[in-house]
A and B are shown apart, each in its own frame.
Chain A
Amino acid sequence: RKEVEQDPGPFNVPEGATVAFNCTYSNSASQSFFWYRQDCRKEPKLLMSVYSSGNEDGRFTAQLNRASQYISLLIRDSKLSDSATYLCVVKTGTGGFKTIFGAGTRLFVKA
């Protein structure tokens, strides 16, 4: 079993749709959680951190469920520019340096 698992997609949605991605992790000692966005042939960029209480940044909402060991990302009112691969990231280890990326979920938003 992979340490971090994501549905690879692709998710094809129309503009304005709401789309949700889930990610599961296997290490219950994991400490920090993030969503990164990666455009084709570009480097990953931090989208948002994921806090235990859940957090929102504009159209994006992230949730963490430690009991079930999953993380979610909700995108509301999808834009064409949201088309990208969304990477779930989990950190463990003393100081949180061991960083495990999921394989990513591809999103295509169409007009």
Chain B
Amino acid sequence: DTGVSQDPRHKITKRGQNVTFRCDPISEHNRLYWYRQTLGQGPEFLTYFQNEAQLEKSRLLSDRFSAERPKGSFSTLEIQRTEQGDSAMYLCASSLPRGLAGTYEQYFGPGTRLTVT
């Protein structure tokens, strides 16, 4: 499978614990995005990388959240001191710099579903 992969697919953790998620983008894609999605809502943008550089970080991303993409390939998203409100699906997407007709199609991974108890 040459699509975007995410690991783990599910994570259950107790409040206050730290969790880390991994995303492996499509190999030739240099752009990588993290989103959070809760029930009944569309994905909310969290952060964006171009190669290894984190170029944008949403105000939704509190200081407890950090993301890295050290070699410009896979990325990790860490949540420290998890809270019940962090329970959501965390989606990763990747894209080329420019798609057909100047658009920027993003391809999503299957997501990591986080439950904080």
Contacts and interface: CB of A to CB of B under 8 A. Distances in A.
Asked if A and B are interacting partners, one says yes
A54 interface: no
A44 B105 contact: no
A99 B110 contact: no
Interface stretch (B13-21, B38-46, B79-87): B38-46
B42 A46 contact: no
Contact of B43 (A32, A51, A101): A101
Interface residues of A, number: 24
B25 interface: no
A34 B40 contact: no
B101 A51 contact: yes
Given A43-B109, A43-B110, A43-B111, A49 B100 contact: yes
Q: Range of interface residues on chain B?
A: 20 to 34
Interface in B56-100: 56, 91, 97, 99-100
A33 to B, nearest CB: 9
Contacts of A101: 35, 42-45
Given A43-B110, A97-B56, A99-B33, A34 B105 contact: yes
B110 A49 contact: no
A99 B45 contact: yes
A42 interface: yes
Contacts of B44: 101
Residue from A45, A91, A99, A103 having most chain B Cβ neighbours under 10 A: A99
A43 B111 CA distance: 7
B59 to A, nearest CB: 12
Nearest to A88: B42
Given A34-B103, A49-B101, A97-B56, A43 B40 contact: no
Interface of A: 4, 8, 32, 34, 42-46, 49, 51, 87, 91, 93, 95-104
28 contacts: A4-B42, A32-B104, A34-B103, A34-B105, A42-B110, A43-B91, A43-B108, A43-B111, A45-B108, A46-B105, A49-B101, A51-B101, A87-B42, A87-B43, A93-B56, A95-B97, A96-B104, A97-B33, A97-B48, A97-B50, A97-B55, A98-B48, A98-B56, A99-B33, A101-B42, A101-B45, A102-B42, A104-B41
